């Protein structure tokens, strides 16, 4: 990539690559479609290669375009960071990011953001749920979090901006001696009669408990009785092991001695994860996180729904808001 490439051209390229549609990309950038097309042609001339295959039916990235995309996004993130620093504002302070736990989607995105933008100070927080984190964001004590926005109170959600990041596959954490622990995947029907811990009683994780109750309804699976918030990994292990609970989890979960994580199936339940921040927050770190999340999602298929998946309608609707690319995920299966 030439060192003097105009960032406007890279932004045009990134928008078209995201939308795979010139009209939608132009609307997103608030420019005329003809101007957008001119910028793409100019960038292709500068680079000496075609970046898109255009037909009357579709727009797709060429191999060169796919190779350019992560580099273009990195350059744009750095450029935005520099612009924010010039303008002052929030750019000079650390960004407080809740990732809930040291493993999972939030932790992955944060690690990549730190690697891509070493000049931005990201400070991690570990709040157990998005409901609790959202209250902290609105109070100004936190900047960013990750989680299921459909479980938030509408009045709370109105003060937040959000970007779909990933459909995490849900799983069950079982004692290694449990009758189902030897299975590679656990059918939901096999859990009929079982009681699973789903953080009931912890007000900070109300959105997760709500998702669990929707999943368990009509399947004969019970939610463990409310229990006070469990703070910290050691305390979680102590309480869960002591009470003999099985736990509703995600496939990316911390190691618990004597227990195993098994993906759920029949159908495959999904936990939607969005990046969430306070509306109007002007901090270069937010732009870096959004760029990194989009790139990671595109590379890892994070917004593709696997065959035979389950997701409540309110969640799917919110995952589509302000993210037209999510509409092109694989939705061949029946969602219930």
More confident residue, 284 or 1: 284
Q: pTM score, two decimals?
A: 0.69
Q: In degrees rounded to 5, what are phi and psi of residue 113?
A: -65, -40
**Same fold across 7-87 and 169-269:** no
The overall average pLDDT reported for the chain is: 87
| pLDDT 10s digits, 6-51 | 888 998 999 899 889 998 888 877 778 898 999 999 999 999 999 9
pLDDT at 92 over 80: no
- Looking at residue 85, its pLDDT comes to 55
| pLDDT 10s digits, 93-139 | 899 999 988 889 999 999 999 999 999 999 999 887 999 999 999 98
Q: Where are the beta strands (DSSP E) in 195-328?
A: 195-197, 222-223, 246-250, 259-265, 268-278, 309-310
| pLDDT 10s digits, 164-188 | 999 999 999 999 999 999 999 999 9
CA of 183: how far to CAs of 16, 43, 53, 113, 267, in Å?
Answer: 43, 52, 45, 36, 16
pLDDT at 323 over 70: no
CATH for 7-87 (3.40.50.620, 3.40.50.1820, 3.40.50.300, 1.10.10.10): 1.10.10.10
Separation between Cα atoms, residue 159 and residue 163, nearest integer Å:
14
Of 175, 169, 217, which is closest to residue 192 (Cα–Cα)? Answer: 217
**Where is average pLDDT lowest: 71-85, 233-247, 281-295?**
71-85
Within 8 A by CB and 6+ apart from 40, the residues are 9, 12, 13, 16, 51, 52
Domain boundaries, the chain: 7-87, 90-167+270-328, 169-269
The DSSP letter of residue 198 is -
Of 64, 42, 43, 45, which is closest to residue 53 (Cα–Cα)? Answer: 64
Its CATH class, for the domain covering 169-269, is alpha beta
For domain 90-167+270-328, the CATH superfamily is Periplasmic binding protein-like II (3.40.190.10)
């Amino acid at each position: 990539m030439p060192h003097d490439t105009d960032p406007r051209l890279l932004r045009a390229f990134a928008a078209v690559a995201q939308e795979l549609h010139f009209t939608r990309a132009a609307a997103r950038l608030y420019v005329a479609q003809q101007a957008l097309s001119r910028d793409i042609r100019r960038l292709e001339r500068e680079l000496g290669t075609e970046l898109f295959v255009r037909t009357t039916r579709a727009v797709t990235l060429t191999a060169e375009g796919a190779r350019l995309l992560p580099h273009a996004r990195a350059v744009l993130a750095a450029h935005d960071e520099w612009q924010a620093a010039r303008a002052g504002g929030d750019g000079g302070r650390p960004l407080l990011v809740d990732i809930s736990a040291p493993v999972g989607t939030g932790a992955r995105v944060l690690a990549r953001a730190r690697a891509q933008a070493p000049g931005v100070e990201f400070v991690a927080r570990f709040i157990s749920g998005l409901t609790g984190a959202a209250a902290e964001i609105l109070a100004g004590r936190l900047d960013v979090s990750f989680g299921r926005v459909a479980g938030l109170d509408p009045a709370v959600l109105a003060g937040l901006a959000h970007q779909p990041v990933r459909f995490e596959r849900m799983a069950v954490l079982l004692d290694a001696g449990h009758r189902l622990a030897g299975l590679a995947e656990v059918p939901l029907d096999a859990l009929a009669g079982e009681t699973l811990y789903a953080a009931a009683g912890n007000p900070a994780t109300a959105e997760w408990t709500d998702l669990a109750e929707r999943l368990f309804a009509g399947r004969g699976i019970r939610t463990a009785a409310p229990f006070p918030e469990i703070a910290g990994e050691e305390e979680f292990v102590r309480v869960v092991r002591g009470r003999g609970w099985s736990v509703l989890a995600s496939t990316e979960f911390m190691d618990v001695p004597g227990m195993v994580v098994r993906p759920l199936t029949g159908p495959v339940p999904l936990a939607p994860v969005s990046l969430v921040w306070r509306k109007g927050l002007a901090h270069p770190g937010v732009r870096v996180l959004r760029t990194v999340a989009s790139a990671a999602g595109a590379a890892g298929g994070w917004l593709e729904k696997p065959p035979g998946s389950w997701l409540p309608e309110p969640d799917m609707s919110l995952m589509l808001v302000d993210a037209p690319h999510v509409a092109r995920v694989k939705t061949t299966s029946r969602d219930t």
